[in-house]
């Protein structure tokens, strides 16, 4: 195995790992697979006229698979917890704006939010702090 082949295969491995954490739409993985296919065919003595189109086909197939399943695979390796405003609201004290049939409208930091009482909680009135 030549030094050039070894360097290209290491770069392909780095690109595969990097594609998990960097949203590239599968292009990094596709390029890495194309390099692996091309180098494997070159080591087998296949002519460049054949191995380059085969590497391109491998790249296209990899990109299509990455586009289809990449988000699920990426989420498995690097899960991200999306923070929403609802997460920030826990623990804040607000005032009941009005009581509807089954829900409360609570004012928190100037915004109105729909809320519901916990099971077994005492009923509340408009204007009460919660």
pLDDT digits (tens, 9 = 90+) for 63-95: 888 888 877 776 777 666 666 666 677 778 888
- The predicted pLDDT at position 52 comes to 92
Quote the pLDDT of residue 129: 83
* 3-state DSSP helix/strand/coil % of the chain, to nearest 5: 55, 10, 35
> Which neighbouring-strand residues pair with 95?
107, 129
Q: How far apart are CA 64 and CA 33, in angstroms?
A: 13
Task: Enter the tokens of residue 38.
Answer: 């091309």
Q: What is the mean pLDDT of the chain?
A: 82
pLDDT of residue 86: 67
């Amino acid at each position: 195995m030549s030094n050039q082949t070894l360097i290209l295969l290491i770069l392909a491995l780095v690109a595969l790992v990097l594609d998990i954490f960097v949203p590239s739409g599968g292009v990094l993985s596709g390029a890495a697979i194309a390099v692996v296919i091309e180098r494997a065919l070159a080591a087998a003595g296949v002519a460049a006229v054949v191995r380059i189109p085969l590497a391109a086909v491998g790249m296209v197939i990899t990109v299509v698979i990455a586009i289809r399943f990449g988000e699920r695979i990426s989420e498995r390796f690097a899960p991200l917890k999306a923070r929403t405003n609802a997460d920030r609201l826990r623990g804040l004290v607000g005032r009941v704006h009005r009581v509807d049939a089954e829900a409360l409208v609570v004012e928190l930091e100037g915004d109105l939010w729909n809320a519901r009482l916990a099971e077994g909680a005492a009923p509340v009135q408009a204007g009460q702090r919660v």
